[in-house]
């Protein structure tokens, strides 16, 4: 049995597998325009834990994944740290500072397995699944020709890819099987960190469930799973903790059971997102997310937020798992549910309070730097 996942909103105990601190990504556009795709994101991921990063398209969650893999375009400027621990203390590696050669040789596929968003695009169209899988097995495990066939079969089996479909080409596969082929490729290197970027887009509900269950199963061996998705039902199904992103920032980071169950989300945006589900109120959040190139001062959700006040003109720090000056409190929840719970402390006017990461919120992009090495 692996280390039990942390159930509160803070950073998990023990040594995290991945420790992200103040990660920011800026895109410099022509004409001097700057896009704040990711701002000040901090979180930890423990071995055996599943963290779901949720939010609407354009909230920065996929950019964050690309940053961790060193797959950002050239006009991206990254700051912060993303420490990936290894078996020994010396093996710890800052993914944001590593050069492309290191990432290509030792990280992608070996220490971080990527389950991609569009498996069809990830697979080579002119080669059969067997040949692609065999090549990856040879590359990552060094298996010799004699054992390769068997190892390939085993690799397919781990992602529940049917052996009788191994000789097919990607275009001959259904969406679900293409996804499993891509997952099989991601699992070959036995990477301790699995990063799944919208792995269920376009799949039927049963397949969504099967795909995420299979991904979750790999955490049983102590693997950490970071799943990026806009599918809240999928997140609810497998995540230990949930991080909700809005306009490039983490709005709320909390235990999945608290988030989807009781007391529910505390950030007004997170609450609105959950309420929009057809099995809940099916009510949209008014308005649309702001442009990442033209963010409002202060809290980016303020123009859409019913709880906004003057205090919201400063960016709220992530404090106790929620980045909001007026989070939905236990009292609010009690009014809905009829429970009588002590009022949660008011965080008004204390945006500088140290969060779980010991940092105050801020919108300071000055520390932005380009990591060493090419990002091509």
Partner 1 sequence: MTRPTPPALELREITAGYDRAAPVLRGVSLTVGEGEAVGLLGPSGCGKSTLAKVAALLHRPFAGTVHLGGAPARGFRHRAPRAQRTAVGVVFQQPRLAADPRLTLASLIAEPLRATGRRAEAAGRTEELARSVGLGGDLLARRPHEVSDGQLQRACLARALALRPRVLVCDEMTAMLDASTTAALVAVVEDYRERSGAALLAVGHDRTLLERWCDRTVEMAAGAEAGTALRSARRAPADTSAG
Residues at the contact surface with ligand SF4, assessed by CB under 6 A = 268-269, 299, 301-302, 305, 307-308, 312, 316, 324-326
101 near 138, Cβ under 8 Å?
A: no
Cross-strand partners of 256 = none
- The answer to the question of residue 248 lying near partner 1 (CB under 8 A) is no
Smallest separation (angstroms) from partner 1 to the CB of 233: 8
CA nearest 293: which of 18, 37, 24, 4?
37
255 binds, among partner 1, ligand SF4, none (CB under 5 to 8 A by kind): none
162 binds, among partner 1, ligand SF4, none (CB under 5 to 8 A by kind): partner 1
Alpha carbon dihedral 98, 79, 318, 63, in 10-degree steps, equals -70
- The answer to the question of residue 268 lying near partner 1 (CB under 8 A) is no
- The answer to the question of residue 202 lying near partner 1 (CB under 8 A) is yes
- The answer to the question of residue 178 lying near partner 1 (CB under 8 A) is no
Smallest separation (angstroms) from ligand SF4 to the CB of 35: 21
In eight-state DSSP terms, residue 318 is: -
Distance (Å) of CA 168 to CA 116, 151, 158, 346: 20, 18, 18, 59
Six token digits for residue 242: 């949930």
Alpha carbon dihedral 68, 18, 183, 60, in 10-degree steps, equals -40
**For residues 82 and 115, which CB has a smaller minimum distance to partner 1 in the complex?**
115
CA nearest 216: which of 1, 49, 92?
49
| CA dist., res. 69 & res. 61, Å (int) | 13
Alpha helices in 230-347 (DSSP H): 232-238, 256-260, 268-275, 330-337
Stretch that binds partner 1, among 171-179, 310-318, 339-347, 348-356 (CB under 8 A): 171-179
1 near 221, Cβ under 8 Å?
A: no
334 binds, among partner 1, ligand SF4, none (CB under 5 to 8 A by kind): none
CA dihedral over 324, 330, 336, 337, signed as positive or negative: positive
202 binds, among partner 1, ligand SF4, none (CB under 5 to 8 A by kind): partner 1
- The answer to the question of residue 360 lying near partner 1 (CB under 8 A) is no
310: Cβ–Cβ under 8 A, 6 or more apart, which residues? none
239 near 256, Cβ under 8 Å?
A: yes
- The answer to the question of residue 75 lying near partner 1 (CB under 8 A) is no
301 binds, among ligand SF4, partner 1, none (CB under 5 to 8 A by kind): ligand SF4
Six token digits for residue 165: 């479909």
- The answer to the question of residue 83 lying near partner 1 (CB under 8 A) is no
Stretch that binds partner 1, among 42-50, 96-104, 257-265, 275-283 (CB under 8 A): 275-283
162: Cβ–Cβ under 8 A, 6 or more apart, which residues? 156, 177
**For residues 93 and 212, which CB has a smaller minimum distance to partner 1 in the complex?**
212
- The answer to the question of residue 174 lying near partner 1 (CB under 8 A) is yes
**61: three-class secondary structure by DSSP:** helix
272 binds, among ligand SF4, partner 1, none (CB under 5 to 8 A by kind): partner 1
**For residues 225 and 322, which CB has a smaller minimum distance to ligand SF4 in the complex?**
322
What track of x and - describes contact with partner 1 for positions 218 through 247 (by CB under 8 A)?
------------x-xx--------------
Residues that bind partner 1 (CB under 8 A): 55-58, 162, 165, 172-177, 201-207, 230, 232-233, 272-274, 276-279, 282-285, 287-289
């Amino acid at each position: 049995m692996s280390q039990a996942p942390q159930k509160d909103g803070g950073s998990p105990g023990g040594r995290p597998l991945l420790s992200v601190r103040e990660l920011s990504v800026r895109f410099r556009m022509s004409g001097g325009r700057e896009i704040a795709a990711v701002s000040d994101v901090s979180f930890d991921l423990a071995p055996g834990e599943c963290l779901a990063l949720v939010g609407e398209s354009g909230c920065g969650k996929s950019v964050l994944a690309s940053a961790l893999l060193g797959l950002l375009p050239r006009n991206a400027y990254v700051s912060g740290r993303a420490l990936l621990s290894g078996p020994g203390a010396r093996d710890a590696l800052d993914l944001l500072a590593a050069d492309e050669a290191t990432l290509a040789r030792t990280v992608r596929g070996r220490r971080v397995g990527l389950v991609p968003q569009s498996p069809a695009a990830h697979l080579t169209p002119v080669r059969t699944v067997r040949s692609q899988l065999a090549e990856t097995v040879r590359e990552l495990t060094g298996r010799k020709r004699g054992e390769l066939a068997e190892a390939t079969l085993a690799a397919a089996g781990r992602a529940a890819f049917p052996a009788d479909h191994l000789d097919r080409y990607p275009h001959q596969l259904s969406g679900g099987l293409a996804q499993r082929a891509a997952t099989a490729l991601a699992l070959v290197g036995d990477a301790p960190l699995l990063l799944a970027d919208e792995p269920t887009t376009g799949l039927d509900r049963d397949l969504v469930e099967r795909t995420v269950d299979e991904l979750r199963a790999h955490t049983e061996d102590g693997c950490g799973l970071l799943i990026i998705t806009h599918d809240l039902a999928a997140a609810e199904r497998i995540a230990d903790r949930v991080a909700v992103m809005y306009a490039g920032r983490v709005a709320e980071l909390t235990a999945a059971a608290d988030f989807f169950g009781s007391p529910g989300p505390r950030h007004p945006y997170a609450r609105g997102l959950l309420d929009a589900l057809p099995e809940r109120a099916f009510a949209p959040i008014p308005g649309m997310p702001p442009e990442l190139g033209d963010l409002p001062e202060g809290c980016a959700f303020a123009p859409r937020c019913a709880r906004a006040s003057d205090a919201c003109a400063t960016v709220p720090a992530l404090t106790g798992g929620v980045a909001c000056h007026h989070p939905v409190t236990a009292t609010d929840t009690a009014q809905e549910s009829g429970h009588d719970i002590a009022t949660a402390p008011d965080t008004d006017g204390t945006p500088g309070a140290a969060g779980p990461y010991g940092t105050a919120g801020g919108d300071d992009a000055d520390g932005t730097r380009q990591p060493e090495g090419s990002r091509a």
